[in-house]
Amino acid sequence: MTGEIGQLALSLALALSLLQAMTGLAGARAGNELARHTATISALGTFVFVVLAFGALTYASIVSDFSILNVAQNSHTLKPMLYKVTGVWGNHEGSMLLWVLVLAIYTAAIAFARRGGERITSAALGVQGLLAAAFLVFILFTSNPFLRLDPMPFEGAGLNPLLQDLGLAVHPPMLYTGYVGLSAAFAYAAAALITGERDWARAARPFMLAAWIALTLGIALGSWWAYYELGWGGFWFWDPVENASLMPWLIATALLHSALATERTGAFRSWTLLLAITGFSLSLIGTFLVRSGVLSSVHAFANDPTRGLYILALIIGAIGGALGLYAWRAPGREQGTAFDIASKETALLLNNVFLAAAAATVFVGTLYPLLLDAATGERISVGPPYFALTFAPIFFALLLLVPFGPRLGWKRGDWISTYKALLPAIGIAIVAAIAVLALTTPRTLAGAAAFAVAAWLIAASVIDLRKRQTITTSAVASALGHAGLAVTLIGIAGTTLWRSEALEVLGPGESMYVGTYELRLDSVVGARGPNYDAARANITVLSGGRAIAVMHPEKRLFPAEGQDTTETAIRTTIVSDLYLALGDRRDNTQWVVRAYVNPLAPFIWLGGLVMALGGFAALFGRLRLPRTSPTAAPQPAE
């Protein structure tokens, strides 16, 4: 029954989304009230039926209904309840359903909020309807999660144990909230081109922000998962799948900044439109890369070429359509106002140029191997050295310039007074660099530079807030966003430049040394989890001859899936992680143990959290906050 309900709900959702697309686009014309109402109602209808379909699949997974192929292939009766729910999107079909669910949620939000007026809302609903219809066709015809399996097996095949993890359970919904959120920006941009409406960026802002916050958190979560689950001690591998989420983030960041200028002064109007289109296009390309099976990774569920071809056609349709619309409608639009070279606009322009260039380097590094393989059959991979040479310097230059933006005025700023205001931050940066060179071993220039830039960003953020007569939520947002970058930078520098690493084969009672710690393997014992068997090590951590902790890295075998995973043990003091992973067994009693000391590692993800908090603050717009110091007299709003 569940399968039929789901199937029916998906079909109805497809019909309604087509209706929504037609009436929404028709309602973009002035006075077309009936079409607008129909678009709104069908958008809500699509939402209801997609929720129903998603609910049906979730229910089937919870009750282990193995008559549904998707559940039989990806679930197991012994799987913990939490992973029965999150396992719904731990496979290709379910994850595409989640994609459409998130899209439907954004569409319903657009329909309710009706930001920017009736006509633009209607056109945006029309575009969202087209996207929903395209993805529903994809699901129904190439990736149907409700296909039946007859005869029904007694037991399911289980979920990839790597995915049976809380961090990774939350990661896909978060990332999709980001990817798909960019569809709202895209829909508003297309709607603006269709209707000729000028104020679209303001209307789309909450959606852009929601997308950006979710992308930031999603990327941070993914990186954190890779760190503690894969057992290699790394946090970012420049894997194409990671790059697929980084590119939309870079463009979404550029979009938020460029839209700011468009909203306030009308500058970069066409460029902002183009960024909105590019951002969502990169989301689609990311989905294609991750889901089509052209890349080999834990994410590549599907190896069915028709799926890849369909997504490719969808990408070409969406990007081509939007760019065509842009070429047709954008040139006639009036230009924005002029600004000085020394102005916030120039700073935002530089921000955009650097972010776009950074995104371009990631794009080439990610797609060049695929193109070369398709063209010549030669298999290559582009690894960290490429990104260290291209992405890193561009982003570093961007970070150097970041603090000027918030201090410069709109249209007409003053470099000299901005520079003077920021002088203390430069002093603090120099002190930080000297301190790093004096106090750390090994002594590295890169480390000094990273800490100097981080200090520069944080100090400038504090100065900016202190110098303002009135503190608005948007000022707090930019301070947090920029300081968050600094926090992440500190974490990356600490972990990559000052890491200690050790790898030994230990028998019971034997010790190894990493950083200032002595690690003594006491024993390795068998343990049993709900759906796995584990070898659990007891390792005593000694510092200066004194035992300070016992840590338990594990190696788990999941019999249902016939696969094993490493479960790292991490002891964090925030300023440093002691990271242990248990390797293979040698002989009978000896085990390979890998240990790292990763200085400042938690800062990497903490920075992401701070940036996301900045995004939340920005959601409140330019709300004025009370100043804590009584001396500042209230000022009229700008």
Partner 1 sequence: MNAKKRRRLAFVIALVTASAAAAALILFALKDNVLYFYSPTDVAQKHVAAGVNFRIGGLVAAGSVTHGQSAEVAFTVTDGKASVPVRYRGVLPALFREGQGVVALGALNDTGTFTATEVLAKHDERYMPPEVVDALKRSGRWKEGQ
Residues that bind partner 1 (CB under 8 A): 160, 162, 231, 267-268, 271, 296-298, 300, 335, 337-339, 341, 346, 349-350, 353-354, 356-357, 360-361, 364-365, 368-369, 378-383, 385-386, 389-390, 393-394, 503-505, 555, 561-566, 581, 583-584, 586, 592, 594
- If the CB atoms of residues 357 and 430 are measured against partner 1, the closer one turns out to be 357
- If the CB atoms of residues 389 and 527 are measured against partner 1, the closer one turns out to be 389
**What is the maximum alpha-carbon separation in the chain?**
82
Query: Dihedral of CA 116/132/87/233: which sign?
Result: negative
- If the CB atoms of residues 178 and 231 are measured against partner 1, the closer one turns out to be 231
| Rounded least distance, CB 370 to partner 1, Å | 11
- If the CB atoms of residues 14 and 69 are measured against partner 1, the closer one turns out to be 69
Reduced 3-state DSSP string for 178-200: HHHHHHHHHHHHHHHHHHCCCCH
- If the CB atoms of residues 163 and 191 are measured against partner 1, the closer one turns out to be 163
| Rounded least distance, CB 379 to partner 1, Å | 4
| Rounded least distance, CB 198 to partner 1, Å | 17
- If the CB atoms of residues 249 and 354 are measured against partner 1, the closer one turns out to be 354
- If the CB atoms of residues 19 and 514 are measured against partner 1, the closer one turns out to be 514
- Helix orientation angle between 240-265 and 200-229, rounded to the nearest 10 degrees: 150
User: Count of CB atoms within 10 A of residue 479's CB?
Assistant: 24
Asked if residues 122 and 173 have their Cβ atoms less than 8 Å apart, the reply is no
Mark out the alpha helices in 408-517 (DSSP H runs): 415-439, 445-467, 473-497
Q: What is the dihedral of CA 442, 447, 452, 453, to 10 degrees?
A: -170
Strand 546-551 and strand 533-543: pairing?
Answer: antiparallel
| Rounded least distance, CB 433 to partner 1, Å | 25
Q: What is the DSSP letter of 94?
A: H
| Rounded least distance, CB 455 to partner 1, Å | 27
Structure tokens of 592?
A: 């390979």
Distance CA 286, CA 172 (A): 13
- If the CB atoms of residues 193 and 398 are measured against partner 1, the closer one turns out to be 398
| Rounded least distance, CB 500 to partner 1, Å | 16
| Rounded least distance, CB 358 to partner 1, Å | 8
| Rounded least distance, CB 581 to partner 1, Å | 6
Distance CA 69, CA 92 (A): 12
- If the CB atoms of residues 316 and 371 are measured against partner 1, the closer one turns out to be 371
| Rounded least distance, CB 364 to partner 1, Å | 5
| Rounded least distance, CB 21 to partner 1, Å | 34
| Rounded least distance, CB 584 to partner 1, Å | 6
Bridge partner residues of 578 (DSSP) = 571, 597
- If the CB atoms of residues 81 and 338 are measured against partner 1, the closer one turns out to be 338
Q: What is the DSSP letter of 68?
A: B
> At a CB cut-off of 8 Å and minimum separation 6, what does 185 contact?
204, 207, 208, 211, 252, 255, 276, 279, 280
- If the CB atoms of residues 202 and 585 are measured against partner 1, the closer one turns out to be 585
Asked if residues 206 and 115 have their Cβ atoms less than 8 Å apart, the reply is yes
Selection from 526, 504, 469 nearest residue 584 by Cα: 504
| Rounded least distance, CB 47 to partner 1, Å | 35
- If the CB atoms of residues 336 and 614 are measured against partner 1, the closer one turns out to be 336
| Rounded least distance, CB 338 to partner 1, Å | 3
Q: How far apart are the first and last CA of the chain?
A: 60
- If the CB atoms of residues 220 and 581 are measured against partner 1, the closer one turns out to be 581
DSSP SS3 for 358: helix
Structure tokens of 448?
A: 């000094």
| Opening angle at CA 392, ends 489 and 486, nearest 5 | 20
Distance CA 382, CA 49 (A): 43
- If the CB atoms of residues 22 and 382 are measured against partner 1, the closer one turns out to be 382
User: Count of CB atoms within 10 A of residue 112's CB?
Assistant: 12
Distance CA 495, CA 227 (A): 11
Distance CA 613, CA 477 (A): 8
- If the CB atoms of residues 290 and 429 are measured against partner 1, the closer one turns out to be 290
C-alpha dist (Å) from residue 495 to 19, 490, 498, 597: 53, 9, 6, 8
User: Count of CB atoms within 10 A of residue 490's CB?
Assistant: 25
| Rounded least distance, CB 273 to partner 1, Å | 15
Distance CA 473, CA 618 (A): 6
| Rounded least distance, CB 101 to partner 1, Å | 26
Distance CA 381, CA 392 (A): 19
Selection from 195, 201, 198, 199 nearest residue 31 by Cα: 195
Asked if residues 297 and 240 have their Cβ atoms less than 8 Å apart, the reply is yes
| Rounded least distance, CB 108 to partner 1, Å | 36
- If the CB atoms of residues 341 and 525 are measured against partner 1, the closer one turns out to be 341
Residue 545, CB-side half-sphere exposure with 13 Å CA sphere: 0
